Chain A
Amino acid sequence: GAVVSQHPSRVICKSGTSVKIECRSLDFQATTMFWYRQFPKQSLMLMATSNEGSKATYEQGVEKDKFLINHASLTLSTLTVTSAHPEDSSFYICSANGGPKMYGYTFGSGTRLTVV
């Protein structure tokens, strides 16, 4: 089955620093990847849609200059949280879609970000 690898699984960083999270589709090409944020015991909130070779599409209320997304290849998308603050602490999850014939999405295992 399709596998999406997300790295790192946990990261602790100091306020003001930047953190990069990687999302890789291991056995399929993903023209579109999605980045979500999840608070404890709550559902996933879509942050942005990452399109290979073009600019990401951000959801309303998500700061594009703070959450930088790069989708440089068909198997890799990265989310960089710039100048992180404690309120950015959260669980970040990516997912990838392999195209029209691949119903459902494969999710990464998530990244727990803690900003201290």
Chain B
Amino acid sequence: TQLLEQSPQFLSIQEGENLTVYCNSSSVFSSLQWYRQEPGEGPVLLVTVVTGGEVKKLKRLTFQFGDARKDSSLHITAAQPGDTGLYLCAGEILGSNYKLTFGKGTLLTVNP
């Protein structure tokens, strides 16, 4: 069973469009992270959210953590070709001793 459901798995949009990626679980997370990964490289941390209801912004990216700390979303405004990549959500389940559970990832392609 997939503990962290991430959707959509694939997304192809035009430059300038907005998009939202979702991560949902039935488990409570002590923290949740969003990563971006380029081909052939390791994931790079974008943001960590730890408080229920928390909203963080990173330029055109907005991250939300659900009130119950079971879900999160990533919203990108006015996407650019440079945003193309694999976006991964990962959560540290409460009591798991720092072990991360990853979603399946969202492969985003932004076309010029």
In chain B, residues 1-60, which have Cβ atoms closer than 8 Å to a Cβ of chain A? 6, 31, 33, 35, 40-45, 48, 50
A45 CA to B100 CA, complexed, in Å: 10
CB < 8 Å neighbour of A105 from B6, B86, B100, B104: B100
A49 CA to B98 CA, complexed, in Å: 10
A112 CA to B40 CA, complexed, in Å: 8
The reply to whether A46 and B100 contact each other, CB–CB distance below 8 Å, is yes
Given A109-B41, A110-B40, decide whether A43 and B88 contact each other with a Cβ distance below 8 A. Answer: yes
A91 CA to B6 CA, complexed, in Å: 21
Residue of B nearest to A109 (CB): B42
Q: Helix, strand, loop or mixed for chain A's interface? A: strand
**Proximity string of chain A (85-116) to chain B, C-beta cutoff 8 Å, 1 when within and 0 when not:** 00000010101010000011111111010000
The reply to whether A110 and B103 contact each other, CB–CB distance below 8 Å, is no
Given A34-B100, A42-B104, decide whether A107 and B42 contact each other with a Cβ distance below 8 A. Answer: yes
The reply to whether B33 and A104 contact each other, CB–CB distance below 8 Å, is yes
B110 part of interface (Cβ distance < 8 Å): no
Contacts A34-B99, A104-B33 aside, 15 further interface pairs with beta carbons under 8 A come to A4-B42, A32-B98, A42-B104, A43-B88, A43-B104, A46-B100, A91-B40, A93-B42, A95-B42, A97-B98, A103-B31, A105-B33, A105-B98, A105-B100, A110-B40
Which residues of A pack against B, CB within 8 Å? 4, 6, 32, 34, 41-46, 49, 91, 93, 95, 97, 103-110, 112
